[in-house]
Structure 1
């Protein structure tokens, strides 16, 4: 029996030799990572610098974008190093660190989406009480809780896993995963399994609560005026799209980790295992940036701010030249 302290590194078995194509994949993922950083940072700056966006909904969105940067940083640099490396190994400590980052990201995502659904419920279903019930102090408390609960939950989970005795060091994945680490254990994992079930059940309840909240919102919207329905639908559509995208991505990940997927092509398995970690950070900025009118208008003004002054200056020069030309023509006549 191998003690946990005797296992100093873990090997990733999902990587395979792709020859010189690894440099192509490296640059593709690098560009994707840079796009994620630029898109999320842009929206964070837009929300922070514009007072018109200092509302609870946009503050929760800013928290969502910060979490996207946190989760992406926990995955993409590691993937880039592993793609270029010939030996796909990592220390046990770093593996637990990556598990902490990725699982915290997933939990913060769900908790933040739950808070955003609650905010939309108050704004649409209880508009007269919104300002009194969603105060600035309450917004700060909710943001702190969206990070505090996940950190506590994941720290407990990692503490339970750190006490396990491992009988191997090979993980058939591209990144560190909690369940894959538990499967390597040769000691009793009953406590870990019970805690994992409670954790999964809690997340499942949270997802159902979010969907129930939006069902209530849709009922109120359908009974209101046409303008109310259009405004509510345009506001809630990005939230629902983000929730569905992330939930289905997590579902595929759970399905792959719990069941034998050897019959599925390895490329598809890799895509499904990384979908919710790679697509969500770029999906959210595009969805919210394109659908929310205030953010879209401010982003356009920021992008075009350096171009429009030139056109305005050129227009003024043309206007200044027109009278002279008309005077000259009048003199000729």
Structure 2
């Protein structure tokens, strides 16, 4: 048993918990290849999230895809996202940790979630098989049999049945004695059974019952259903067989999409490999530099303070912003045509400005934290509690996401009169493509701009003016502390405010800007802040700089 203490920011109360920890001993030469493993798994996880989320978004957005078959496909992809999220984040943490351990309760939770989602996949495939059987073999009865209510029941059962049954299995196991504390795997799977001293017949029978109920029966049902479809199709016309192939084989599924041309590149056919290498190096630098500072803040307990948590959130925001732009940009450099679907462009637009405005809100939260820390130091522990920090972080990402999703929803079905964007990724210039811009959309856009950009900037400026006034009447030590902690925030703010101003002037007023200048200013969104934020905060913030030097010194000693 390992005793550990959970504490909140400057909290006076400490609580001891008695926890049993398990060792995950399935990694191969982790000490040697930890950063390689981390990079590969991180990239795979991002690809899984982006690819699955894109298809789910398409199905949700397009009205003609609101049919049972596509809804089940969306549920299947969402299930894949949940399954990955159950495994990958813990795996990434383990790659960067000295010891790969997990609490027994967390291991049981991961085990339950893993197999509940796997079995949900079988049940969703069974529901899809039944849907295809009705659509192909009983087409006239399809609208009455596959109603919205039926689909909701199938989805509910697909997730609820496995969850209830595996929770029951976990509750039986939760209080049983362990005779081993080492798992020869990298995450908690069925091998957890080997840890228990005794396995009762009741537990074994219950496990077999679950296996038959949510795995074997759905598989048999799927095989039986598709056999019935094949038999009926064999005796039917060629058109029926064609329909069966198109709907039963997912890889033949085709989506009709509107494509847009990205015409902001300069001589891409001539310098494609040079562009690719430069952008790839910049992207890797952004990922590595931001992740290093985030890792430092996560690892060092003396950096678990509101200011550093906001910095970590800001750097994580930069990573997400870069990942929204760079992968597509790299693909375009190596492609003959630089095109993007309308729905993917809208998604990139929403993600881009959500993350840009999240940066303003995070900087506002940081300004407020600095104001309290410098001007009301005695009240800082009670005002900037853990709960307040979590609320600020949630609002910083949730408010822009919901407002820009609403803006995209207003635009998604509007007619396009142009299909060419004079940029290298989808930004505010997407407005120039639409035939008509309604008054409601314009007013909503102005509301979003004022709400998420102007107000935060005014608040930040007002807050720093208050800090400067108080510091002017204080000692030299206070002024030095204010300069060290506030200067990096002001540098980032000024750059971002300049970029937003440019974006509004060029796009909204349709100002004619030379292609080279437009390209350079557009790239500022994706290069300047994501690349230089780690250096601004890593070098200017004294505590982070100290730990960064220790980390680099330790790495140099290890190499020697």
TM-score (normalised: structure 1): 0.87
State the alpha-carbon separation in 2 of the partners of residues 96 and 261 from structure 1.
Answer: 22
Tell me which residue corresponds to 2:408: 158
Within 5 Å, which residues of 2 pair with 1:238-253?
238-253=488-503
**Equivalent residue in structure 2 for 1:286, among 535, 541, 548:** 535
1:84 to 334, 344, 358: 334
Residue 277 (structure 1) aligned with residue 545 (structure 2): no
Larger relative contact order (Cα-Cα within 8 Å, sequence gap ≥ 6): 1
Tell whether 2:448 aligns with 1:199: yes
Residue 515 of structure 2 corresponds to residue 266 of structure 1: yes
Deviations 1:69-109 (A, max 9, x none): 10000011111111222211111121112112111111110
Map 1:174-185 onto structure 2 (within 5 A).
Answer: 174-177=424-427, 179-185=428-434
Give the CA deviation at 1:190: 1.6
* C-alpha distance in 1 between matches for 2:297 and 2:439: 46
Query: CA offsets, 1:53-81, max 9 Å, x none?
Result: 00000011111111011000001111111
Quote the residue 1:189 is aligned against.
438
Q: How many residues were matched structurally?
A: 306
Q: Specify the alignment match of 1:100 in structure 2.
A: 350
How far does residue 20 in structure 1 lie from its aligned partner after superposition? 3.5
* Alpha-carbon distance between aligned partners in 2 of 1:87 and 1:149, rounded to the nearest angstrom: 35
C-alpha deviation, 1:13, in angstroms: 2.0
CA distance in 2, matches of 1:103, 1:153: 10
CA distance in 1, matches of 2:382, 2:393: 18
Q: Report the alpha carbon displacement of residue 111 of structure 1 after superposing the two structures with TM.
A: 0.6
Q: Residue 322 of structure 1 aligns with which residue? A: none
CA distance in 2, matches of 1:19, 1:160: 36
Check if 1:63 corresponds to 2:313.
Answer: yes
* Structure 1 counterpart of 2:554, from 305, 308, 331: 305
Partners of 1:113 and 1:210 within 8 A in 2: yes
User: Is 1:295 the counterpart of 2:544 in the alignment?
Assistant: yes
Provide the rounded CA distance (Å) in 2 between the counterparts of 1:139 and 1:25. 40
Q: Is the 8 A contact 1:182 1:189 kept in 2?
A: no
State whether residues 256 and 273 of structure 1, in contact with CA within 8 Å, keep that contact through their aligned partners in structure 2.
no
Determine whether 1:209 maps to 2:459.
yes
In structure 1, what is the Cα distance between the partners aligned to 2:281 and 2:558? 31
Alignment correspondent of 2:303: 53
Pairing 1:143–2:403 present: no
Q: Does 1:229 align with 2:483?
A: no
Please give the secondary structure, in 2, of the residue aligned with 1:20. Answer: helix
Aligned partners of 2:332 and 2:338 also within 8 Å: yes
Q: Does residue 134 of the first structure (1) align with residue 381 of the second (2)? A: no
**Structure 1 residues 261 and 34 mapped into 2: Cα distance closer, same or farther (>3 Å)?**
same
- Secondary structure of the residue aligned to 2:555 is coil
Distance in 2 (CA, whole Å) between partners of 1:156 and 1:173 is: 23
C-alpha separation between the residues in 2 aligned to 1:307 and 1:180? Answer: 47
Structure 2 counterpart SS, 1:11: strand
What secondary structure is seen at the aligned counterpart in 2 of 1:86?
Answer: coil
1:116 paired with 2:381, answer: no
How far 1:39 sits from its partner (Å)? 0.5
Q: Within 1, Cα distance between the matches of 2:557 and 2:268?
A: 47
Going from structure 1 to structure 2, the CA distance change for 1:223 and 1:176 (only over 3 Å counts) comes to same
Mapped partners of 1:14, 1:70: distance in 2: 22
Give the structure 1 partner of residue 163 of structure 2.
Answer: none
2:143: which partner in 1? none
Identify which range, 57-66 or 157-166, moves more after superposition: 157-166
Alpha-carbon deviation of 1:306? 3.3
Q: Which runs of 5+ in 2 are unaligned?
A: 1-62, 65-255
Match of 1:90, SS state, is strand
Larger radius of gyration: 2
Q: Distance in 1 between matches of 2:362 and 2:388?
A: 14
Q: Residue 26 of structure 1 is aligned with which of 276, 284, 303?
A: 276
Q: CA deviation at 1:260?
A: 4.4
Secondary structure of 1:127's counterpart equals coil
Distance in structure 2 (CA, Å) of the matches to 1:310 and 1:200: 50
Q: CA deviation at 1:255?
A: 2.1
In 2, Cα distance between the equivalents of 1:176 and 1:147? Answer: 20
